């Protein structure tokens, strides 16, 4: 079938790769319809398993699976769940046979490293071995391979996306784009079935869950909202069954969990799950402690009960995605199933209950993502505008402000690629630098969000507080990778950082970040308001005390005592803030007490500025006086104060 492709003059063929937790697939588009290529195992599905033997021997795919019970401590499966994660991530403590390198310093703690005794490997290197195998299969059948589109879960953060891109490059692939898996599935359905409408993509794979709501209209694929959990999938179902099997084998105590026993239980659990998709009850013979054999029985009813909590977690994400898109379930024209775990009968019935309609599954859920990736690769190679993909940010991106609040520069569900700019100012007099802290999340305070990057901008000329202007620009490209640029407007000093964080999100963080934002919404708003009011009050106090040291002679007889009383009241409110309204009230009281005096100070500043000067000098001095007024009225300074260094 592929003989006509072996043409040395033919251009390289673009390919799409679904780099999955359980299986990986490579596909291409020979005509208009995508086709999955045969892997080294002779099937389209390549098990995402890598065995690291001695003497640099590496085995990928079905052949590597045979080592899972023989040498489980050298066999890596579900490596996708470790992409972009740090050595202290909770994922490293999950039920499994792998050993991890204990980090000796902070640098080593930034990345998970698998310990195979005589060698080590990172998740990026393991994923690259899978990609190398897929690339070889493509080259064997297509002769020449061009650029590749690799799919990732919509909820992969920047670290996980960058790790995926690095794995592609390490495998010798030209990565054209990282494409969200739900978008890839919708792309496959939209082009093949010529359907327009509002679709929900329910993607439950081996290790990740995504839900995405898209509008398909005349070739435009616009993501309305997205959600999910990058640590939830069919593997978790396997672990639940494996835990019961281990108890049945007399190995309920984790101290008895040898790598061989754990690997055997996980493999038996996975097979049991697959068999229950066809039958109502299964029996599995398992070796027990002491050499005997026990029979473990599992019914579909009991299995459904085991996974109920996992399905509920997917349901919460789906309902949140509907709210974010301002859609009801009745507005959904179809639900697309993606991922091998959606073959579980209870998953399909749950999705039907959740959305009130029978889900679509007429394209193989294991292959549909790879098909979409291949179609996108073909379009990019041809620079075609036939299809427009509009993805969105899964979480807000912003900057920590003085006091610990967050200025959200790019809100959640912003269509990407996208850019936005915010302007900040200095907090203290003679501040000569800015410390920028980039965060990700929905909470109002930076301490409750995820830290992405910190960097400094130095060389700012000393100026009164509130006069310097820092322009911060966020740009997220089509691969969901963030670049932050900071520029001080008066000097043109610029600093830029590409956000490639070293730590991925923990199991709970991805789900909890949005749930916490909802649960603590009112509380967060009040805490943010208090933090902002305290910063404003402290700035007002600094300005007032400096003014008292410079122009106390302009005070009238009764003004000093009223100002001192207002200062003491504001200091007390800042020290123990009961509410933002209380702090703001004390700020307003100090403002009222200093208002007339500030006017007299302004008049003196102008008179001193224009005395004995020509018109042009006067114009410059008026501009300077305006700066003095901004300093005197600190609470009226434009922009949000950024953290500063002097």
User: Among all residues, which ones are annotated catalytic?
Assistant: 18, 80, 181, 203
Residues 89 and 469: their CA atoms lie apart, in Å, by: 39
Residues 22 and 65: their CA atoms lie apart, in Å, by: 11
Residues 476 and 319: their CA atoms lie apart, in Å, by: 26
CA-nearest of 53, 106, 103, 102 to 75 is 53
Distance of CA 45 to the CA centre of its chain: 27
Residues 339 and 237: their CA atoms lie apart, in Å, by: 14
SS3 content of the chain, % helix, strand, coil (to 5): 45, 25, 30
Beta bridge partners of 273: none
The pairing of beta strand 175-180 with beta strand 197-204: unpaired
The SS3 of residue 447 is helix
* Sequence-distant (≥ 6) Cβ neighbours of residue 115 within 8 angstroms: 99, 100, 101
CA-nearest of 161, 218, 221, 158 to 185 is 221
Whether cis (ω within 30° of 0) applies to the bond prior to 417 is yes
DSSP codes joined into one string, 298-311: EEHHHHHHHTHHHH
CA-nearest of 143, 129, 141, 137 to 172 is 129
Residues 161 and 404: their CA atoms lie apart, in Å, by: 28
- DSSP state at residue 615: H
Beta strands (DSSP E) in 477-621 are 482-488, 494-498
Beta bridge partners of 222: 215, 390
Residues 477 and 507: their CA atoms lie apart, in Å, by: 26
Longest dimension (CA), the chain: 106
Q: Give the C-alpha distances (Å, rounded to integers) separating 631 from 33, 401, 532.
A: 66, 19, 18
């Amino acid at each position: 079938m592929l003989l006509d492709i072996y043409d040395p003059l033919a251009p390289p063929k673009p390919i799409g790769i679904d780099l999955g937790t359980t299986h990986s697939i490579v596909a291409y588009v020979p005509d208009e319809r995508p086709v999955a290529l045969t892997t080294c195992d002779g099937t389209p599905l390549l098990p995402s398993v890598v065995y690291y033997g001695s003497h640099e021997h590496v085995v990928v795919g079905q052949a590597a699976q045979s080592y899972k019970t023989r040498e489980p401590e050298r066999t890596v499966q579900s490596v996708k769940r470790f992409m972009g994660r740090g050595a202290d991530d909770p994922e490293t403590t999950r039920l499994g046979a792998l050993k991890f390198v204990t980090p000796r310093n902070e640098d080593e703690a930034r990345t998970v490293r698998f310990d195979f005794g005589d060698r080590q490997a990172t998740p990026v290197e393991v994923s690259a071995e899978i990609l190398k195998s897929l690339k070889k299969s493509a080259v064997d059948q297509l002769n020449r391979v061009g650029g590749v589109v690799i799919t990732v879960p919509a909820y992969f953060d920047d670290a996980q996306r960058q790790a995926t891109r690095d794995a592609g490059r390490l495998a010798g692939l030209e990565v054209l784009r990282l494409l969200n898996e739900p978008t890839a599935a919708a792309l496959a359905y939209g082009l093949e079935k010529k359907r327009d409408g509002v679709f929900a993509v329910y993607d439950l794979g081996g290790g990740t869950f995504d839900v995405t709501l898209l509008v398909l209209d005349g070739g435009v694929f616009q993501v309305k909202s997205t959600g999910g959990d990058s640590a939830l999938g069919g593997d978790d179902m396997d672990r639940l069954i494996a835990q019961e099997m281990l108890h049945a084998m007399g190995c309920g105590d984790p101290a008895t969990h040898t790598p061989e026993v754990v690997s055997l239980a996980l493999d038996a659990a996975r097979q049991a799950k697959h068999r229950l998709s066809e039958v109502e009850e299964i029996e599995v013979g398992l070796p027990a402690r002491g050499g005997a054999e026990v029979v473990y029985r599992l019914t579909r009813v009991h299995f459904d009960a085991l996974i109920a909590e996992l399905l509920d977690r997917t349901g919460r994400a789906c309902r949140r995605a509907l709210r974010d898109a301002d859609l009801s379930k009745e507005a959904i024209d179809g639900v697309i199933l993606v991922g091998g775990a959606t073959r579980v009968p209870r998953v399909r019935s749950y999705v039907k209950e959740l959305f009130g309609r029978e889900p679509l599954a007429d394209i193989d859920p294991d292959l549909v993502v790879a098909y979409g990736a291949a179609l996108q690769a073909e379009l990019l190679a041809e620079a075609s505008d036939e299809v427009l993909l509009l993805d969105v940010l899964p979480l807000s991106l912003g900057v920590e402000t003085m006091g610990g609040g967050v200025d959200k520069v790019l809100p959640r569900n912003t269509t990407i690629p996208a850019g936005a700019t915010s302007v900040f100012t200095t907090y203290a007099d003679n501040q000569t630098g800015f410390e920028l802290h980039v965060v990700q999340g929905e909470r109002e305070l930076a301490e409750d969000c995820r830290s992405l990057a910190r960097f400094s901008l130095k060389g700012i000329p000393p100026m009164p507080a509130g006069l310097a202007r820092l322009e911060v620009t966020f740009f997220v490209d089509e691969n969901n990778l963030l670049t932050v640029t900071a520029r001080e407007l008066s000097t043109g000093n610029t600093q830029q950082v590409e956000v490639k964080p070293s730590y991925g999100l923990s199991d709970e963080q991805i789900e909890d970040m949005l749930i916490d934002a909802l649960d603590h919404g009112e509380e967060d708003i009040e805490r943010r308001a208090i933090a902002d009011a305290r910063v404003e009050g402290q700035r007002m106090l600094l300005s007032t005390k400096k003014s008292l040291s410079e122009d106390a002679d302009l005070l009238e007889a009764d003004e000093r005592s009223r100002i001192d009383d207002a200062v003491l009241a504001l200091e007390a409110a800042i020290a123990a803030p009961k509410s933002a309204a209380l702090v703001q009230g004390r700020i307003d009281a100090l403002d009222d007490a200093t208002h007339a005096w500030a006017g007299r100070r302004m008049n003196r500043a102008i008179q001193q500025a224009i005395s004995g000067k020509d018109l042009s000098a006067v114009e410059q001095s008026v501009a300077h006086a305006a700066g003095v007024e901004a300093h005197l009225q600190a609470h009226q300074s434009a922009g949000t104060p950024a953290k500063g260094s002097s």
